Chains A and B, each alone.
Chain A
C-alpha cells in the first residue's frame, strides 16, 4: 500500500491494531507504554516496539508530549500507521522522531501481522507479509 510520509524511516515489526482513535494524554502511560484508557480496545496492551496502527489521534494536544515521552523512556512504538494523521500525532512523531505514515487503509491490517514500512521523504510504502 502507498501512503504519505509524516516522519521518514524504515521499520519492520508486529502490528498492534486499534480501529478506534487513540488519545495519548491520559490514554497511554508514558513510563510503561501501556494503554490505560478505560474501555479502549487496546486497554492493558503495550505499544512498545510495535507497529502501532490506528485511524487518527484524539483528545488533548498534550498528547504530542506523551508521544515524545514514550520515545524518551524507550517504550515508544517502532512506527505508526494512520488512516489520517492529525496535528497531535504529527507533532508528537516529528518531535520524537518516530517513523509515521498516513493515507493507509488500516482495515486491511490485522493484529499480529508482520508489517514492513519504507517511508521516504514524501511517499511511503507499507507491506503486509
Chain B
C-alpha cells in the first residue's frame, strides 16, 4: 500500500508506540483487503464499550491506549452497559459499575466524546453524502451508508480506534463506488405500518442476503425511524452494511438493478417473521430503543400512554443528548406517570438485564435477535401499542 510521508512517520513511531501499532494495524488490514492507500476520515464511532461485552481484556487494553494516545478526529462512542448517571436505579451492581466507569474514563482520556449511543447521527455526529467515515456500530454503519450516503466499512472496535488515533482508514470496500452496487432486488408486496413491520422485513432480508447489498422496491414511504429499525435488523440477522430503497435513499437512482436475484416479501413472510422472533409469553418488562429511540419515537410513546397506567413495566433507552431535550418537555413526566422510565447511555442488549428479567418485550428485531444469546431472555416481539396494551 502507498503511504504518505506523514503516515510513514506514524508507522515508524514518531508519534509514539501506540500510534505506530495502530498504523501498523491499518496497513495490515489494508494489505489484506487490497487497499492502495489510506484516506482521511471525517469522523469515527467506536463500539466495544460495555464492560459486559469487552470485559477485563478490553478495559486493560483501553487503559494502555489512553496512557499514550489521543484521537485526531471527532470520535463518538457506542452505548455503555448502564445509564452512567442512574445506574443504581436500573439495578446495576456496584462491581460492574466500577469497571464500566473505568472504561468510560479511558475513552474520555483519549479525547472521545462520551456520546454513548448507537445513533450518533441523531446526537450531533452527522456526516454528509459521500463523506468518508470509520464507524463500527453495525446499525449506525447501515444508516450512514444507506440513508445518508456516507461511506464506511463495518469497523471492529480496535480498527475504529486506530482510525481515530491516526485519522486514517484504508481505502477499500464500501469506500469505493463500485462496491456499492446492489446484489438483490427485494420486492415488498405488503403494507408496512409499524416500525416493527420494517424491523421484521429487515430481519427476513438480512437472513437471505447475508453481507450483500439489497435494493428494495415497493416501499412507498418510510420515515428515518423505520429505516433505522430495518437497517439495524438487517445488520443483525445478516451483515448488511448498505441497502437502497427505491425513491427514498440517495443512491437508489444511481445504481444498476437489472439481472439481479429477486426476493419477494409479502403478508405471509411478515407473519412468519413475527412468529419466529417470538419466543416468550408474558414479558417482565418492555424495552424500546434498539437502536436508541429518537425524539419522535419517544413522543409517539408518550402520546399513547398519556393518562394511562400501563400494566407492564416499561423502559425507553436513548442517547444522553435526546434525553436532555426530553427533560425540557413534559414527556418524561407523562411516561413516568404511566409507569415507564427513560434511561440514557445504554440499551437492553449491552446492559446486564439477565440479572433482572427473564422475558423482554421489544418492537426491535435487532434486540429480538440478540436478547436470547447475550441476555438469556425470552422475547415477545410486537408493535409499540400492542406491547403497551
Contact = CB atoms under 8 A, between A and B. Distances in A.
A88 B28 CA distance: 12
Given A87-B156, A91-B158, A62 B55 contact: yes
Contact of B28 (A30, A64, A90): A90
Interface stretch (B57-65, B84-92, B349-357): B57-65
A94 B53 CA distance: 21
A91 B156 contact: yes
Contacts of B156: 61, 64, 87-88, 91
B246 to A, nearest CB: 33
Contacts of A64: 156-158
B321 interface: no
A14 B68 CA distance: 35
A90 B48 CA distance: 17
Given A61-B157, A87-B156, 14 more contacts: A7-B28, A61-B156, A62-B58, A64-B156, A65-B48, A66-B57, A68-B57, A68-B60, A69-B57, A72-B64, A87-B32, A87-B159, A94-B28, A95-B25
Interface string B15-36: 0000001001100110010000
Contacts of A95: 21, 25, 61, 158
A6 interface: yes
B301 interface: no
Contacts of A68: 57, 60-61
B56 interface: yes
For the complex of A and B, list the 5 residue pairs with the smallest distance between their C-beta atoms, beginning with the closest. Answer: A65-B57, A69-B57, A65-B58, A61-B156, A94-B25
B159 A91 contact: yes
Nearest to A66: B57
A90 B32 contact: yes
A61 B48 contact: yes
Interface residues of B, number: 20
B219 interface: no
Contacts of A9: none
Interface string B141-170: 000000000000000111100000000000
B54 interface: yes
Contacts of B21: 94-95, 97
Interface in A25-79: 25, 30, 61-62, 64-66, 68-69, 72
**Majority SS at the chain B contact face:** helix
A18 B21 CA distance: 28
9 contacts: A61-B48, A61-B156, A61-B158, A65-B158, A66-B57, A69-B61, A94-B21, A94-B28, A95-B158
Contacts of A25: 57
A125 B14 CA distance: 29
Contacts of B61: 65, 68-69, 95
Most buried by A among B21, B56, B57, B64: B57
Contacts of A30: 56-57
Contact of B54 (A6, A65, A72): A65
Interface string A6-27: 1100000000000000000100
Contacts of A97: 21
Interface in B27-80: 28-29, 32, 48, 53-58, 60-61, 64
Contacts of B29: 87, 90-91
B158 A72 contact: no
A87 to B, nearest CB: 6
A69 B56 contact: yes
Contacts of B28: 6-7, 90, 94
B54 A62 contact: yes
A81 B358 CA distance: 43
Interface in B234-276: none
A69 B60 contact: yes
Q: Which of B21, B48, B158 has the most CB of A within 10 A?
A: B158
A69 B156 CA distance: 18
Contact of B53 (A62, A69, A72, A90): A62
A72 B61 CA distance: 9
A114 to B, nearest CB: 28
Among A88, A91, A94, the one with the most B-chain Cβ atoms within 10 Å of its Cβ is A94
Contacts of B60: 65, 68-69, 72
